[in-house]
Chains A and B, each alone.
Chain A
Amino acid sequence: MSWIDLGAIEDVPLRGARVVKTPVGCVALFRTAEAEVFATSNTCAHRNGPLSEGIVHDRKVTCPLHNWVWSLETGEAQGADEGQIATYPVMVENGRILIEGDSVRKRNAA
């Protein structure tokens, strides 16, 4: 496993998100608590809404376009909706946010 430094935890607003551009597409980086982050695909599986613009509550995000709610932990749609978005391993170490490098590298690049 290789971890890539994305930035300082303070660069992501509390209960907010920032986008990270990666070879596998835009990844949304969410900060749900003082030192808790999650990364998922930035694209809503319903109609491609930008999830990083949604309201972050508990460990979930609500898509700004049609209010689909996604679990940031599992990537599963919540409530009556059904669907799945990609999630990526991230962690916080010494105030820095790290993402697992292989997960955002193009699979066919090797």
Chain B
Amino acid sequence: MEKLVVIGAGMASGRLLEHLFDAAPGAFEVTLFNAEPRGNYNRIMLSPVLSGEKSYAEIVTHDDDWYAQHGVTCRFGERVVNIDRDRKIVVGENGEVPYDRLVIATGSDAFIIPCPGHDLPGVIAYRDLDDTNKMIDTCGKPGARAVVIGGGLLGLEAAAGLRLRGMDVTVLHLSGHLMERQLDAAAGYLLRADLERRGITVMTEASTKAVRGTDAVEAVELEDGTMLPADLVVMAVGIRPSVAVAKAAGLTVNRAINVDAQMRTSDDSIYAVGECVEFAGQLFGLVAPLYDQAKVLAATLLGDDAAFMPKQLSTKLKVTGCDLFSAGDFAEGPGREDIVFRDPARGIYKRLVIEDDRLVGAVMYGDTADGNWFFGLIKDETDISDMRESLIFGPAYQGGSSVDPMAAVAALPADAEICGCNGVCKGQIVEAIEGGATDLGAVRATTKASASCGTCTGLVEQVLAATLGDDFTLPTAQPVCGCTDLSHEDVRRLIKSQELKSQPAVWQELGWSTPNGCHVCRPAINYYLLADWPVEYKDDPQSRFVNERKHANIQKDGTFSVVPRMWGGITSASELRAIADVADKYDVPTVKVTGGQRIDLLGVKGEDLPAMWADLNAAGMVSGHAYSKGLRTVKTCVGTDHCRFGTQDSTGLGIRLEKYLWGSWTPHKVKLAVSGCPRNCAEATCKDVGIICVDSGFEVGVGGAAGMDLKETEPLVKVATEDEAVEWTVASIQLYREHAKYLDRAYKWVGKVGLDWVRETLSDDVERKALVERFDLSQTIYRTDPWAEHTPRESASRFAPLTDLTLEAAE
């Protein structure tokens, strides 16, 4: 009998032995090494064991009887020390075993992040039954907390299982969304929402700095300094083929053990199978190709012809209860088109990727019933041009149905707030409609919905249309862009009332028709999110116009202009000297004094920006935000300091306001001015907010403009003290930030909602102070100098070319 030694009793080698014993019982005398002190079990089912849905006994594939019946000598719990190829002997910890043929099936090891504290007790991987048992033991401790590092399939399975056992679980993920290799951002958002509903905390873009603790794990520290208390840390950041033994034996090993299509290694009598194998540059982690390999290797060992061929793969992922499917190539390669379907009401997202009239990839969330049908189309490379229109609805709908444009509003729950001013929910509006209020006027009269600032009018009309059906003709509101049927006002309202806190959340819940918006909606949505959720939402530079991304104004020749801030238009000899120096140093062709009382350096090359900012920062100057939809300038006159007519310290008030407001983002640019007397030298009456100082106090006006339209400010309030003037100014800007449509200047917004409503809202002492508080909260995050955030070295990598191929060509 031929002596066959197998190293590793995992799923691949288990399947191999089954094939061998089936096809040629008694052909081999088998010795099976396994480092784990047990035989082959279904590793994929460890998750149900962790969650308590299954026991270990239920997932055992080969028990002691099976091994005995097939005459397998089991050396479980024994590591292989080395392979002596000359003598054809495997050296185990407990002695040598000769072989005629050897199969290496060592699988893979979990990758442990080599951060400080990674070796503390309580830090584990999630690979085998021992890990699973350790997790289960920790769950027994009341109030135990787990941190799972890695938001891939394995990490999420671990998190879901631990949560089911009652642990407090946080998942840390390095990338922007979960399972970024298998899912796109929208599906990642739905998965996250599902997990959060189950009480799992998810932190994306979270980088682990260290594991802290003295005798055992106590906390995980993130790069940003956050400390997460933990009794258990599960590292699930990836796996690495386990190749140490093969490498030491001198076999050819690249990323894993190289094999040919017959699963033969570089040594004719040694074979390899499973996760430790590399074939044609590919590694294998899913069970289907491993079983294919096992079948091929069985044939090879028995002298039959067989060749391993990697196949197109689909993943139907089961993160206990979340339905996900991804197949084919949904992200990579040119020449492709997307079909996107979203049903916010049922939490469904589907995306198909088409190339040359063939389906090449599919991602689905929430409803994966048609997954195999789509997978079939991908595998068979079926020409789908005839069913393209209705393809996304699946096999049952060939022939078609159309998407309801009002789906997003129809999907809202009854307690979704529609009118923020008067606190009216969808349910109340529907009730009023059913009670006979069948037009906008009647709904307003009975519920007060949209009766105040009016920005929710579009939504109220949509509720009317959704409730009354054909009996109500929807007036055509201007949608944000081609990606949605909702207007800006509708989107703003829904972001607030539905607590949508990310762009994928908006795209999904409001039924966007494109994968990730367009140049019209992305900057608007980015603004709405950061204005409404300053703490939770993270500003997305890729959704900003170039000027706001480069902190400088792009000019028609692609150069930029740089404007440092001059608080209230006041500067000094040393600041002017520093400006003159950078103008010389960077060959600035044009230096101009602006209308906002500061100095513009025009014609700066993009790659010089970071160094120039650093020089201006060193001289004590910060960005003037002359490029932003945000606070630009506060223009002042010299007030009581020098002017014989001045009534108040207009310069001081201007500087105070500018230092208070700078860095804030607004729907459009915001310019202020403070004049020291009614002669109005600072031209305050054509600004977004203009203050005129008089003997008895301060006159605050809003809604002025001197651009495309020329408009005088309208008087908002007259107050006695400077503090009150500041409070009213800040509150009015916050009201504008919270309510206006993106790219509406303040005067346009005031024109829409009416000065009376603005004044009435701000006159409420409690509301006015609350507005200031919300502005202050936002400023804790945004009152920073964007120039100072770029060290010249770091930003060289963003502002300079990636590569210069002209240099190579010259050589």
Interchain CB contact under 8 A, A6 and B331: no
Interfacial chain A residues near B542, Cβ < 8 Å: 13-16, 55-56
Interchain CB contact under 8 A, A73 and B334: yes
Interface membership of B336, Cβ < 8 A: yes
Q: Which of A21, A23, A36, A59 contacts B801 (CB 8 A)?
A: A21
Interface membership of B403, Cβ < 8 A: no
Interchain CB contact under 8 A, A38 and B334: yes
Interfacial chain B residues near A104, Cβ < 8 Å: 805
Interchain CB contact under 8 A, A57 and B514: yes
Q: How far is the CA of A92 from the CA of B522 in the complex (A)?
A: 26
Q: How far is the CA of A63 from the CA of B801 in the complex (A)?
A: 18
Within 8 A of A (CB), among B327-385: 331-336, 338
Interfacial chain B residues near A34, Cβ < 8 Å: 175, 180-181, 331
Residue of chain B at shortest CB distance from A6: B803
Interface membership of B554, Cβ < 8 A: yes
A24 to chain B, nearest CB (A): 9
Interface membership of A77, Cβ < 8 A: no
Interchain CB contact under 8 A, B331 and A35: yes
Interface membership of B766, Cβ < 8 A: no
Q: Which of A12, A26, A64 contacts B554 (CB 8 A)?
A: A64
Q: Which of B331, B335, B541, B808 contacts A13 (CB 8 A)?
A: B541
Interchain CB contact under 8 A, A73 and B802: no
A58 to chain B, nearest CB (A): 5
State whether A48 and B558 are in contact (beta carbons under 8 Å apart), knowing that A20-B803, A34-B181 are contacts in the complex. Answer: yes
Tally of chain B residues near chain A (CB < 8 A): 44
Interchain CB contact under 8 A, B545 and A55: yes
Interchain CB contact under 8 A, A55 and B804: no
B708 to chain A, nearest CB (A): 17
Interchain CB contact under 8 A, A53 and B806: no
State whether A55 and B805 are in contact (beta carbons under 8 Å apart), knowing that A15-B516, A36-B333, A62-B519 are contacts in the complex. Answer: no
Q: How far is the CA of A26 from the CA of B557 in the complex (A)?
A: 14
A39-62 CB contact bits vs B (8 Å, 1 = yes)?
000000001111001111111101
Within 8 A of A (CB), among B534-565: 541-547, 549-550, 554, 556-558
Interface membership of B278, Cβ < 8 A: no
State whether A62 and B556 are in contact (beta carbons under 8 Å apart), knowing that A18-B802, A23-B809, A55-B542 are contacts in the complex. Answer: no
A31 to chain B, nearest CB (A): 9
B283-306 CB contact bits vs A (8 Å, 1 = yes)?
000000000000000000000000
Within 8 A of B (CB), among A77-110: 89-92, 104-106, 109
B22 to chain A, nearest CB (A): 39
B609 to chain A, nearest CB (A): 12
Interchain CB contact under 8 A, A57 and B516: yes
Interchain CB contact under 8 A, A54 and B546: yes
Interchain CB contact under 8 A, B554 and A53: yes
Interfacial chain A residues near B543, Cβ < 8 Å: 15, 55
Interchain CB contact under 8 A, B802 and A20: yes
Interchain CB contact under 8 A, A6 and B802: yes
A102 to chain B, nearest CB (A): 12
Interchain CB contact under 8 A, A53 and B546: yes
Residue of chain A at shortest CB distance from B547: A64
Interfacial chain B residues near A64, Cβ < 8 Å: 545-547, 554
Interchain CB contact under 8 A, A50 and B558: yes
Interface membership of B94, Cβ < 8 A: no
Interchain CB contact under 8 A, B805 and A20: yes
Q: How far is the CA of A16 from the CA of B797 in the complex (A)?
A: 13
Residue of chain B at shortest CB distance from A44: B558
Interface membership of B580, Cβ < 8 A: no
State whether A47 and B556 are in contact (beta carbons under 8 Å apart), knowing that A7-B802, A36-B332 are contacts in the complex. Answer: yes
Interfacial chain B residues near A19, Cβ < 8 Å: 801-802
State whether A12 and B335 are in contact (beta carbons under 8 Å apart), knowing that A62-B518, A62-B519, A65-B556 are contacts in the complex. Answer: no
Within 8 A of A (CB), among B496-520: 514-519
Within 8 A of A (CB), among B740-757: none
Interface membership of B413, Cβ < 8 A: no
Q: Which of A16, A33, A48, A89 contacts B331 (CB 8 A)?
A: A33
Q: Which of A22, A58, A62 contacts B805 (CB 8 A)?
A: A22
Residue of chain B at shortest CB distance from A26: B801
Interfacial chain A residues near B522, Cβ < 8 Å: 55, 57
Residue of chain A at shortest CB distance from B607: A19
Q: Which of B184, B547, B558, B803 contacts A21 (CB 8 A)?
A: B803
Interface membership of B523, Cβ < 8 A: yes
Interchain CB contact under 8 A, A23 and B805: yes
Interchain CB contact under 8 A, B809 and A105: yes
Interface membership of B71, Cβ < 8 A: no
Interchain CB contact under 8 A, A57 and B517: yes
Q: How far is the CA of A36 from the CA of B803 in the complex (A)?
A: 18
Q: Which of B335, B518, B801, B809 contacts A73 (CB 8 A)?
A: B335
B457 to chain A, nearest CB (A): 28
Interfacial chain A residues near B332, Cβ < 8 Å: 33, 35-36, 92
Interfacial chain B residues near A54, Cβ < 8 Å: 519, 546
Quick one: which of A34, A38, A105 has the most chain B CB within 10 A?
A34
Interface membership of B77, Cβ < 8 A: no
Q: How far is the CA of A91 from the CA of B541 in the complex (A)?
A: 25
State whether A7 and B331 are in contact (beta carbons under 8 Å apart), knowing that A58-B338, A69-B519 are contacts in the complex. Answer: no
Q: How far is the CA of A3 from the CA of B570 in the complex (A)?
A: 56
Interfacial chain A residues near B519, Cβ < 8 Å: 54-55, 57, 62, 67, 69
Q: How far is the CA of A58 from the CA of B184 in the complex (A)?
A: 12
Interfacial chain B residues near A53, Cβ < 8 Å: 546, 549-550, 554, 558
Interfacial chain A residues near B333, Cβ < 8 Å: 36, 91
Residue of chain B at shortest CB distance from A25: B806
Interfacial chain A residues near B798, Cβ < 8 Å: 13
Interfacial chain B residues near A65, Cβ < 8 Å: 554, 556
Interface membership of B25, Cβ < 8 A: no
Q: How far is the CA of A26 from the CA of B607 in the complex (A)?
A: 14
Residue of chain B at shortest CB distance from A62: B519
Interchain CB contact under 8 A, B516 and A58: yes
Interfacial chain B residues near A55, Cβ < 8 Å: 518-519, 522-523, 542-545
B542 to chain A, nearest CB (A): 4
Interchain CB contact under 8 A, B803 and A73: no
Interfacial chain A residues near B423, Cβ < 8 Å: none
Interfacial chain A residues near B606, Cβ < 8 Å: 50
Q: How far is the CA of A22 from the CA of B543 in the complex (A)?
A: 28
Interfacial chain A residues near B546, Cβ < 8 Å: 50, 53-54, 64
Q: How far is the CA of A19 from the CA of B801 in the complex (A)?
A: 5
State whether A59 and B180 are in contact (beta carbons under 8 Å apart), knowing that A6-B803, A13-B541, A29-B802 are contacts in the complex. Answer: no
Interfacial chain A residues near B557, Cβ < 8 Å: 48
Name 23 interchain pairs, CB-CB below 8 A, sorted by A: A4-B808, A11-B797, A11-B802, A13-B798, A16-B541, A20-B803, A21-B804, A23-B805, A23-B806, A29-B802, A34-B181, A34-B331, A53-B546, A55-B518, A55-B522, A57-B514, A57-B522, A58-B338, A64-B546, A64-B554, A65-B554, A72-B334, A89-B334
**Besides A13-B541, A21-B805, 13 other A-B contacts (C-beta < 8 A):** A14-B542, A16-B542, A19-B801, A21-B801, A21-B803, A29-B802, A49-B558, A50-B606, A53-B549, A62-B519, A69-B519, A73-B334, A104-B805
Q: Which A residues form the contact surface with B (CB < 8 A)?
A: 4, 6-7, 11-16, 18-23, 26, 29, 33-36, 38, 47-50, 53-60, 62, 64-65, 67, 69, 72-73, 89-92, 104-106, 109
- Which 9 residue pairs are nearest across A and B when measured between Cβ atoms? A62-B519, A53-B546, A18-B802, A55-B519, A15-B542, A64-B546, A21-B804, A22-B805, A19-B801
